[in-house]
Structure 1
Amino acid sequence: MISKRKKKSDTKVYALGQHIRMSAHKARRVIDQIRGRSYEETLMILELMPYRACYPIFKLVYSAAANASHNMGFNETSLVVSKAEVNEGTTVKKFKPRARGRSYPIKRPTCHITIVLEDTTVYDEYVISHDTYSSGGLWDKK
């Protein structure tokens, strides 16, 4: 019989960046690349990607790992990005003066980025009880 994984309740640590001055669409392009990867692999990917959105996301991942090691005592090598999401924030609206006393609106989008890291060492291994197989159990010939 195979028993399922058991996990502790407080294994997740998060960092939240609000009102980051970039489009949510451009930040999602980077977030989709790091979701589900390990912490060390995520830092390497973010350093090498040529997008402007990488730097604030890099800072958030680094901050979440610092929260995990300082507040919870987790090892940084066993952290995995379990959840990464980007939501649209408020839009900063300005007016640019133009010719003949007119003005054109300028809309500067912002976004909120949430990074959740999870510790993988708290998962128990799969446990196979051998008594089912030793007695013939499932494959007993008759």
Structure 2
Amino acid sequence: MIKKRRTNRYTEVYAIAQYISMSAHKARRVIDQIRGRSYAETLIILELMPYRACYPILKLVYSAAANANHNMRFNEANLIISKAEVNEGNTVKKLKPRARGRGYPIKRPTCHITIVLKDLDVEEEYLDSFAFEDKYIHKK
């Protein structure tokens, strides 16, 4: 299956973590707190929240910022979390041995987390370039 991402490749950078061994509901509780915030504010929030879901999300935000810095030369001070989503992954099913030869099913949910960072300065320049083109080039 081909995954299509609708992001602006000039102003946005993303990172994806797949098959994180955690319920999507528990990860969404943390993701809802950081959506739309700046990169620095997000790091502070994730380090101080007491949930187990914070650590993989913190690693993912670091990874997305590293992608932005290395691939696109974005400044980390201008980054914001433009999109953050959590989707359910596969459920890992196991059998736990119990008394008298029985087995009880154990279900371990997984989730996929996507973080999209946007650089505000680059976005303004990018949109201004289109406004310039629309105003002067396409005018009849």
The normalised TM-score by structure 2 is: 0.82
**Alpha-carbon offset, residue 99 of structure 1:** 1.1
The aligned counterpart of 2:29 is: 29
2: distance between equivalents of 1:68 and 1:17?
16
Deviation per CA, 1:11-42: give whole Å up to 9, x if none. Answer: 00000000000000000000000000000000
Moved runs in structure 1, 4+ residues, more than 6 A?
none
Deviation per CA, 1:78-132: give whole Å up to 9, x if none. Answer: 0000000000000110001111111110000000000000000021599xxxxxx
The aligned counterpart of 2:63 is: 63
Matched pairs, number = 119
Letter in 2 for 1:49: M
Q: Is the counterpart of residue 19 in structure 1 residue 19 in structure 2?
A: yes
Structure of larger gyration radius = 1
Secondary structure, counterpart of 2:121 in structure 1: coil
Alignment of 1:1-142 (within 5 A): 10-122=10-122, 123=124
Letter in 2 for 1:19: Y
1:61–1:98 distance in 2 versus 1, CA, 3 Å: same
1: distance between equivalents of 2:25 and 2:88?
9
Secondary structure, counterpart of 1:67 in structure 2: helix
**Structure 1: gaps of 5 or more residues:** 1-7, 127-142
2: distance between equivalents of 1:69 and 1:46?
20
1: distance between equivalents of 2:82 and 2:98?
48
Structure with more helix by fraction: 2
1:85–1:72 distance in 2 versus 1, CA, 3 Å: same
2: distance between equivalents of 1:99 and 1:9?
56
**Structure 2: gaps of 5 or more residues:** 1-7, 129-140
Letter in 2 for 1:81: I
**Alpha-carbon offset, residue 10 of structure 1:** 1.1
Secondary structure, counterpart of 2:74 in structure 1: coil
For the aligned residue pairs, the C-alpha RMSD in angstroms reads 1.6
The normalised TM-score by structure 1 is: 0.80
**Alpha-carbon offset, residue 9 of structure 1:** 5.5
